[in-house]
Amino acid sequence: MTEFVRLEVTGGIGVIRLSRPPMNALNMQVQEELRAAAHEASARSEIRAVVLFGGEKVFAAGADIKEMADMDYVDMTARARDLSSAFDAVARIPKPVVAAITGYALGGGCELALTADLRVCADDTKLGQPEIRLGIIPGAGGTQRLPRLIGPAKAKDLIFTGRMVDAQEALAIGLVDRVVPADDVFDTAVEMVKSYAKGPAQALRAAKAAIDGGLEMDLASALNWESQLFAGLFATEDKNVGMKAFIDKSKPEFTGR
Catalytic site includes residue 111: yes
Residues 70, 113: Cα–Cα separation, whole Å: 27
Residues 236, 257: Cα–Cα separation, whole Å: 6
Catalytic site includes residue 46: no
- The residue annotated as part of the active site, out of 3, 56, 111, 253, is 111
- In DSSP terms, 121 is beta-bridged to 101, 179
**Beta-carbon count within 10 A of 8 CB:** 12
The alpha helices in the chain, defined as continuous H runs, are 28-43, 65-68, 73-91, 108-114, 142-150, 152-161, 167-173, 185-197, 201-214, 219-232, 237-248
- The residue annotated as part of the active site, out of 3, 67, 131, 191, is 131
Asked if residue 50 lies in contact with residue 29, where contact means CB atoms within 8 angstroms, the answer is no
> Active-site residues: which are they?
111, 131
